[in-house]
Amino acid sequence: MKVPNFYGTFSVLSSKAKKRMFFLFPVILVGIVLETLSIGMVVPALGILMSESYFEDFPFLHDCLSFLGNPSHEVLIFIGLSGLAGAFLLKNIFLFFQFQCQGTFVFSAQREIALNLFNLYLRRDYLFHLRTNSSKLLRNLTTEVSLYCSYFLMPLLNLLTESLVILAILSLIFFVEPKGTVFLVIFLVTLVFLFVKATNRVVGSWGQKRLVAEEGKLKHLSQGLGGIKEILLSGKLEFFLRRFHKPNKVAGLMHKREYIFQYVPKLGVEVIAIFGLVFMCSYLILQNKSSQEVTHMLGLIATAGFRMIPSFSRILNNLQSIRYGKPGVDTLVEEFKKHSTPLEQERNNPQSDSQDRLIFTRDIQFKNISFSYAGGEDEVLKDINFKISQGEIIGLAGESGSGKSTLVNLFLGLIQPSMGRLLVDDRELDCTNFSCWQKMIGYVPQEIYLLDDSLRRNIAFGLDDDAINDERVLEVIRLSQLENLLKNDTEGLDLVLGERGVRLSGGQRQRIGIARALYHDPQILVLDEATSALDLKTEQEILKTFTPFRGKKTVLVIAHRETSLEMCSRIFEMRNGKIELR
pLDDT score for 223: 73
One domain for residues 179 and 130: yes
**What confidence tens digit (pLDDT) does each residue in 321-333 have?**
888 888 888 888 8
Phi/psi for 431 (5° steps) reads: -65, -15
Residue 331 domain flag:
yes
One domain for residues 311 and 168: yes
Domain boundary among 295, 319, 346: 346
Residue 6 domain flag:
no
One domain for residues 285 and 358: no
As a whole-number percent, the residues of the chain with pLDDT over 90 amount to: 3
One domain for residues 192 and 267: yes
Strand, coil or helix: 522: coil
**What confidence tens digit (pLDDT) does each residue in 70-110 have?**
777 677 778 778 888 888 888 889 989 988 898 889 888 88
**Residue 155: Cβ-neighbour burial (10 angstroms; 0-12, 13-18, 19+):** buried
One domain for residues 413 and 333: no
The answer to whether 381 and 577 have CB atoms below 8 angstroms apart is: yes
* Cα(375)–Cα(471) distance, integer angstroms: 49
Residue 323 domain flag:
yes
Residue 499: give the domain boundaries.
350-581
**Least confident piece of the model among 139-153, 252-266, 465-479, 500-514:** 252-266
One domain for residues 313 and 398: no
Number of domains in the chain: 2
Residue 7 domain flag:
no
**Mutual angle of helices 15-40 and 42-50, in 10-degree steps:** 10
Residue 2 domain flag:
no
Count CA atoms within 13 Å of residue 31 on its CB side: 25
Q: Is the pLDDT of residue 344 over 50?
A: no
pLDDT score for 97: 92
One domain for residues 318 and 381: no
One domain for residues 192 and 275: yes
The candidate with the shortest Cα–Cα distance to 548, out of 582, 572, 514, is 514
Order across the sheet with 419-424: list the strands: 381-389, 363-371, 419-424, 427-428
Residue 150 domain flag:
yes
* Cα(527)–Cα(546) distance, integer angstroms: 10
* Cα(375)–Cα(510) distance, integer angstroms: 35
One domain for residues 164 and 282: yes
Domain boundary among 317, 346, 375: 346
One domain for residues 371 and 327: no
Residue 5 domain flag:
no
Residue 3 domain flag:
no
The answer to whether 319 and 194 have CB atoms below 8 angstroms apart is: no
pLDDT score for 111: 87
Q: What is the CA radius of gyration of the chain?
A: 35
pLDDT score for 356: 62
Domain boundary among 346, 365, 392: 346
One domain for residues 358 and 310: no
Strand partners, 557: 395, 527
* Cα(7)–Cα(107) distance, integer angstroms: 20
One domain for residues 330 and 465: no
**Least confident piece of the model among 118-127, 171-180, 208-217, 544-553:** 171-180
